[in-house]
Amino acid sequence: MLSGQEGERAPRRPRPRLETLSDLIYGLSLSIGAISLVITNSQSSSASDIDKNILQFLFVFLILITSWIIYTSDMSVLPIETRFVTLLNVVLLMLVAVIPYLFDQAVSALNPSNVQDYASILFTGDYAGTLVIMTVFAHIIAQEEEHLVDGEIMIRFRRVRDRLSVLTVIVLLSLAAPWDWLLLGVHVRLLIWLVPIFSFWYNRMTRAPSRKAEVAPSTARL
């Protein structure tokens, strides 16, 4: 009877090593952000410093977890064995790996203003780079000749592609705001960086799920 049940089970596809490595790098990046939080708070800090450090960590956490959700949804559809997709994966993982470091350098009170500005420029380019690669992934999935998804989901991925393109431009436009511009004590450039995060989670929470959207639902709601 046991052998009969096992025969009815659908065969499991072996998980590509690159997908496993990507999960490891995303997890490592989150761990680095947490470690930097511990190191910072091991020093003498006021209550406001602790609150500020926690908010900074949550910002990096939201960027990484949002990127990971979109990434894993795309990888469930994309043919990861192709050279182009593999190259994009490697570049994406490199960009993700340095996000915590660049952000920490941008907001570190120990760095002079010019170093913070330089680090924030690098972070903006890094952040925009991840969005560009996600846009390319969505474009590949949305192509009719690839036949990777059904018609309705293909249309959704096209919307995702267009939205990600706009968000990439918005992130890059944050460079027009000088680093020393503040709004309610927060860097204006940092507030602009929040736009893609708000876009993803707002659409994810407000959009009704589709019965036909069986593939990559998280990405379809970006």
Cβ-contact 124, 172 below 8 angstroms: yes
Q: Pairing mode, if any, of strands 186-187 and 182-183?
A: antiparallel
The C-alpha atoms of residue 131 and residue 104 are separated, in whole angstroms, by 20
The C-alpha atoms of residue 174 and residue 169 are separated, in whole angstroms, by 9
What would the two tokens of residue 70 be?
């979109």
Query: What is the identity of the amino acid at 174?
Result: S
Query: What is the identity of the amino acid at 143?
Result: Q
Enumerate the domain spans of the chain. Answer: 17-220
The predicted structure's pLDDT at residue 5:
45
The predicted structure's pLDDT at residue 119:
94
Cβ-contact 201, 150 below 8 angstroms: no
Question: How many other β-carbons are positioned within 10 Å of the β-carbon of residue 45?
Answer: 13
**Cα dist from 129 to 3, 57, 111, 135, whole Å:** 49, 21, 25, 10
By C-alpha distance, which of 104, 24, 32 is closest to 71?
24
User: pLDDT tens digits for the chain (222 residues)?
Assistant: 444 444 444 444 444 555 665 666 676 666 665 566 555 554 566 777 777 878 888 898 899 888 888 888 887 777 666 788 888 888 998 998 899 889 989 988 888 999 999 999 999 999 999 999 999 988 888 876 556 666 777 778 788 888 999 999 999 999 999 988 888 888 999 999 999 999 888 887 877 555 444 444 444 445
Three-class HEC string of the chain:
CHHHHHHHCCCCCCCCHHHHHHHHHHHHHHHHHHHHHHHHHCCCCCHHHHHHHHHHHHHHHHHHHHHHHHHHHHHCCCCCCCHHHHHHHHHHHHHHHHHHHHHHHHHCCCCCHHHHHHHHHHHHHHHHHHHHHHHHHHHHHHCHHHCCCCHHHHHHHHHHHHHHHHHHHHHHHHHHCCCCCEECCEEHHHHHHCHHHHHHHHHHHHCCCCCCCCCCHHHHCC
The predicted structure's pLDDT at residue 85:
83
By C-alpha distance, which of 53, 59, 49, 39 is closest to 99?
59
The C-alpha atoms of residue 160 and residue 183 are separated, in whole angstroms, by 30
The predicted structure's pLDDT at residue 84:
85
Give the length of the chain: 222
Cβ-contact 71, 130 below 8 angstroms: no
